[in-house]
A and B are shown apart, each in its own frame.
Chain A
Amino acid sequence: MIPSIEAVKAVNYHRSDALVVATSSALRDWHQVSQRRDLDVDLSDCMDRAPAVALGLALAQPSRKVLVLDCDATLRTDLAGLATVGESKPGNLVHFVFDDASRLSTDGVSIPGLDNLDLITIAQGSGYSKTYQFDSLEDLLIGLEEVMVQTGPVFVLVKVEREAKAPPMPERRMAQGWAEVRRTLASQS
């Protein structure tokens, strides 16, 4: 199991100038480590829509990597979204799902069906071109080299454990952050 903050640090190390769509608990970790908040599309609301937002970004910006930092509980609320991504096949999209074994996002309450879902198999069956699973930090750090050069959509399941006290959500409002990313991209086009 990988401490969740270490997992996002590993992603950040490999990020380069990728756009990042982070949601829910992954966002709580991510905004603490990101050094390019002008390229971060936060989902502190509508948290189940991270893959869809990222798909739109990936189609709009095909020459730039788009990383989704998703969570098992949020993904489970819209599994059909995997098929939507798989259908459009954005080659520049990498979909990370941080699988929280401690279930801290629900205060330890078991989520119906979640333990029975094989997300890797579902992603493969939905049209993702490549899937990975990482259970150790060392494997993740090494494996991300390969992940980041694959043609997407790539699905990456990362087994994490979270701190008992959840970090805060970013202070930046969603509308403010999205406007900032939009300005950044417009200035670079």
Chain B
Amino acid sequence: MTTEHYESVIHPPAIMAELKKNKVTHVVWLPDSETNFMYQLLTTEPTIDLVPVCREGETMAIAAGLWVGGKKPVVLIQNTGIFESGDSIRGLGLDINQPLVMLIGYRGWTRHGLTSDSAARFIEHILHAWGINYYLIESDDDANRISLAIDEAYRIQKPVAVLVGTEFGA
């Protein structure tokens, strides 16, 4: 019997390569410990500006302003922040036809056993309720799904989510 090894970690360079390939100009994000490695890499990238916020609901609004102004932002927050951001996603994502790509930390996600964290149990249901499509990424091999999400968001002129189901590795 063989045991398949599945590396459940994603490295920031894999994400960065996707953002650069798609000419993303800004990452609007709420600083947290989960995205520390991503932050360190983003601060060294001259073609992408970081816009830090105090509360997740601001990210969609800032992204909306950037988009109207001709830029190509993405949002980087945790699933808990999506629950806080409902009105912004509705009014400043869906209703104004913003091609908003949201990279969402999938806190509590596991392929094994019980999912005890309600942040994980509810997030996909919430996205379904809004009619927002999403892609799951769990390793560097999945990173090209970010391109799928960006292509889709600009094709349908609506928000699309990328659920990051693993930790960022060093």
Using a CB–CB distance below 8 Å, which chain A residues touch chain B?
Answer: 21, 41, 45-46, 49, 52-61, 78, 80-81, 83-84, 87-88, 174-175, 178-179, 181-182, 185-186, 189
Contact = CB atoms under 8 A, between A and B. Distances in A.
Contacts of B65: 21, 41, 52-60
Nearest to A177: B96
Interface of B: 26, 28, 49, 51-55, 57-58, 61-71, 73, 87-88, 90-92, 95-97
A179 to B, nearest CB: 8
Contacts of B66: 56-57, 59-60
A46 B67 contact: no
Contacts, number: 105
Nearest to B87: A46
Given A45-B91, A53-B62, A78-B58, A178 B52 contact: no
Contact of B54 (A41, A56, A83, A175): A83
B82 to A, nearest CB: 16
A84 B70 contact: no
Contacts of A61: 69-70
Contacts of A175: 95-97
Pick the most buried of B57, B63, B96: most chain A CB atoms within 10 A of its CB.
Answer: B96
A54 B62 CA distance: 7
B57 A60 contact: no
14 contacts: A49-B61, A52-B58, A52-B62, A52-B65, A53-B65, A56-B63, A56-B68, A56-B69, A59-B69, A60-B65, A60-B70, A84-B62, A178-B68, A182-B68
